[in-house]
Structure 1
Amino acid sequence: MVGCLYNYLVLIGNVYLLSFSIIFMTSKCFFYLFNLKYQVTKISFKCHINTNIQLFAMLHFHHDLGNIVYYGERDTPDSALNDIIIIIPQWLIYIFRLVITVKNPSDQWAEFRSSWKKLDEEGLLEERLLRRMWQKFLEKFEALLQLMQKFDLLCVKTRSTLYKQTTGTKSDRLFYVPSLLKKNEGDEMVSLDKLAKSKNTAVFYVDFDGFLPEGLYYRLVVRIVHWSQQRKLDEGYDPRLFYQQVKVYIDQNHDAIIRILPEKRSCIQVVIYRLKIGGKQLKPSPSVCKELLQLIKENLLDIGHKWMKRVDFNVCVLCNVCPEENLHLHKLKECLVSTPRCGLDDGMDTCKVRRLFGKDNRNQAFQDTAVQGNSNVPWFLRPLIGVYKDIPSPILPFHIMTEVCVLLDPPQPRANDWRSVACKVGYDCYISYIMNMMKSPTMCVMHGWSEKGLSMDDFKDCMTEINRHDVVGLIEEHLKL
């Protein structure tokens, strides 16, 4: 006991000795030092901090205290963020302000006029313009870009038209920056406004009780745009961004509009609609509605936990009893279990709300017209008709696959879970169906992996692309035994 306490005190002393060494070393530096990680590693050995676990623990400890800014992680050794330690956090504001700012036309560089126009009208930032903004820091361009993505300020356009038409070099990348869009009452935005008021849509609201920081909304949009693009990797579906409004892809039959409600600035409106078939507007699928609702709630909770802890919200639906001039919202969770009263004698009709967002129809996706007939459903996705068989994955031993399922089954805010695997093999249109199955979704998708002729190395590459290095490490660790 005494020995453990002694070792603990020695470790604490070493951490503080290293901390004072860092502060002393950087007191003569500018606001930041990109190569500080190398010096810190050298000093740590002198302070008897000999393992990466102790070094990362110390750096994250000072990050939590607010002394430094550090987002490196042990499980992502190749990340550029591992080598950046920012001593003066205010320097980040300077870096972000070079991008998230409004420039007068006279201050815009002439050779980038077309790039500025694309940024103002479409919310798309070309990499060549971003490199011009950060021309003093090109040595660590990728690290700064990862910082912007870490703060949900932008996301990469996965498949851009510009990228396809050119040689495919990195300088052709495009980035969505929704916070830089300017107000524009275009024809397409007006048509989206009419669609949002259609009866054959599923609409819910996220009410922030009088105060909605615009930064929170834009961070949510960045995450949803990233998620939407992952759903359609093969065909390169492009989200449409407008001022405080975005239109995104959900699946082959559904799209969604997410916007700040013009009549109530502290409220986000989410409209889910189905594509027209034969000129008719069909009703949206309940499984799709519940999936998007859950995704938005998870992301808002995560954003609030990381950046805005005091901001609270409620998911609501519009009252369908009161006249238009007195319209108000009811909490969704109350509508799912009871009938809200409006006035003395009226009660809100909640049948539609319960059908779209309730839990009473688990097999809706199977019955949905988006999957018509058993013949259109892959064989490994048919447990309800007795075709499903529990067989080991052909590319990995079964005991490894079970551990992979534990990691990939839980939904992630950025959809870097089993859903990305489904998109990779072209089963993104069945994601809603798989979610309603009583099986591990990862195992179900992996049963179809070999049908595409994909190997274990392809699976590891897929995991690397979506930043799931924990899965790659698990596979490599087991295969070495």
Structure 2
Amino acid sequence: MLGKESKMEEAEVMKALEFYHNVGEILHFSSIPELKDTVILNVEWLLNLFKILITKSSKHTKYLGTKIKLRCLIDELHHEGKLHEELVDYILEHNKRKEDKTTLLKMMEMYDIICEISPNPQGKRMFYLPSLIQKDEQGENSIIFPANSSVHCHLYIHFVGNFLPEGLFYRLLVRCLKRWPESIAVIRKHKARLYFPKEEFYITMCKEDADIQLKILSIPAGDQHSPPPQSRHVSNVRKLIEEELRVVVKTYTPNLVYYASIKCQCRHHKVGELLPLAEDTDDTCVPLSEDKSSVICPRSRMPMKDQKLGMWYWTEDKHAEARHQEASTQGSKREGIDPLNQLFFTLNENLTDDAKCQMIDLLLGQQISIHDAATLKTKDKTANDVFWNLKRT
């Protein structure tokens, strides 16, 4: 309207809108069909629109009266993170902002706050809005991790400085739900489980303090045993999650630093204490090596391996290498083991003291050289015992 009054051509108006949008004076998204005719001159207007749904939804319960269905919709939003269009209509109409529904929903979708699930038979839409989940009851964990499920591998994405904003986790979850619209999701506060029907496996994403924990689950149907998922499917899922995480961090919190890691089981960690040579605090997360096959604990300086990491970082090259190693060992007599890796594979397991002693006796008969044993010298009493016993032999 102002452009026409100033006798500006449409192209000139669009250039002016783009300029003022880029410098932050207005909001105008010409590339989005639902928003191309909307120009937001006052950001506070948009914030107030968001507040109607995000901060006032729980307050609308007292206005519902005998409308049991709407009460159930609010409970579903706060318990499972599912937002029904019918509830949006009611809340906006009650606040005399119903004409702004398209703008509200599209802006929330654009900023990775919501994503559409699917239309129901009545034509009304439904969305995931996980950031509004309020209940975190004690039994919620069993919903995400059923008792009959099997965990095949776990991976942690650790954020340096032990700082992971809650909003970033939910934005990542929303982007993953957009990425896999065919997946079946179960969402609770700080946790979610996604089922991939084609690949027939589940992945869980949980926020644990400053870490995002990823796990692969198999849940048997009835009494049938569910086979573990194929490594290439797991690796593809991990790549896409990391890809979405890069986008979320770059867009909303570009100064955050994170890395893939596993939880160390050695006894040298003091949770909350500053890590040596790092601007980070210890939560037992240890970064993976460059080849993603092992880690070296910064506390004990011990190397350790997690054989299940190969499922997350599966490649054709590693698959071919594994086949070659398997073929080369078939029919051949075992002539020894890698003493360093094997020893710490054993000592890092959750063994009793008696079991550790038995394992040490076993390893002493496997041709571990004194040179190899000398590299194991550590503050750990059990490892020192192995070293001095070897030296005397």
Q: Scaled by the length of structure 2, what TM-score is found?
A: 0.67
Change (3 A) 1:83 1:195: farther
Query: Which amino acid is 1:242 matched to?
Result: R
Is 1:247–2:193 an aligned residue pair?
yes
Q: Which residue of 2 aligns with 1:295?
A: 240
Q: 2:206 matched to which residue of 1?
A: 259
Does 2:148 align with 1:204?
Answer: no
Q: Please name the residue that 2:212 is paired with.
A: 268
Aligned to 1:319: 264
The structure carrying a bigger helix percent of its residues is 1
Task: Measure how far apart 1:212 and its partner are.
Answer: 1.1
Check if 1:149 corresponds to 2:109: yes
Q: Which among 296, 305, 309 is matched to residue 340 of structure 1?
A: 296
Query: d(CA) in 2 for partners of 1:339 and 1:314?
Result: 12
Alignment partners' CA distance in 2, 1:137 and 1:70: 20
User: What CA distance in whole angstroms lies between the structure 1 residues aligned with 2:230 and 2:266?
Assistant: 24
Instruction: Give how far 1:240 is off.
Output: 0.9
- How far did 1:138 drift? 2.4
After superposition, the C-alpha distances for 1:138-165 in whole angstroms (9 at most, x for unaligned) are 2342232111111111111215xxx23x
What does residue 126 of structure 2 align with?
174
Matched with 2:34 is 80
SS in 1 for 2:54: coil
> Is 1:126 aligned to residue 79 of structure 2?
no
Q: State the partner residue of 2:276.
A: none
Q: Does 1:329 align with 2:293?
A: no
Identical columns (%): 23
Structure 1 residue 138 corresponds to structure 2 residue 98: yes
Which one has a bigger Cα radius of gyration?
A: 2
Report the count of equivalent residues: 301
1 CA distance for matches of 2:41 and 2:303?
Answer: 58
Q: For the residues of structure 2 that align with 1:306 and 1:43, how far apart are their CA atoms?
A: 37
Q: Note if 1:109 corresponds to 2:53.
A: no
User: 1:348 is paired with a residue of what secondary structure?
Assistant: strand
Change (3 A) 1:215 1:57: farther
Aligned partners of 1:320 and 1:349 also within 8 Å: no
**TM-aligned CA deviation for residue 178 of structure 1:** 0.7
2:269–2:299: 8 Å Cα contact kept in structure 1?
A: no
User: Could you tell me how far apart the structure 2 residues matched to 1:347 and 1:362 are?
Assistant: 20
What SS class does the counterpart of residue 68 from structure 1 fall into?
A: coil
In structure 2, distance between residues paired with 1:224 and 1:88: 31
Alignment-mate amino acid for residue 174 of structure 1? M
Structure 2 residue runs without a partner (length 5+): 272-282, 324-393
Where in structure 1 do 4 or more consecutive aligned residues deviate above 6 Å? 323-327
Match 1:349 to one of 283, 299, 305: 305
- Tell me which protein shows more strand as a share of its residues: 2
Change in 2 beyond 3 A, CA 1:173/1:106 = closer
Q: Secondary structure at the match of 1:59?
A: helix
The alignment yields a C-alpha RMSD, in angstroms, of 3.2
Does the 8 A contact of 1:321 with 1:342 survive in 2? Answer: no
3-state secondary structure, aligned to 1:334: coil
1:85 Cα offset (Å) = 0.8
How far the C-alpha of 1:188 sits from its partner, in A, is 5.4
Could you give the per-residue CA deviations for residues 338-373 of structure 1, whole angstroms, max 9, x where no partner exists?
552465573211432134314355779xx9xxxxxx
Partner of 1:384: none
CA distance in 1 between counterparts of 2:5 and 2:215 reads 55
1:65 corresponds to: 23
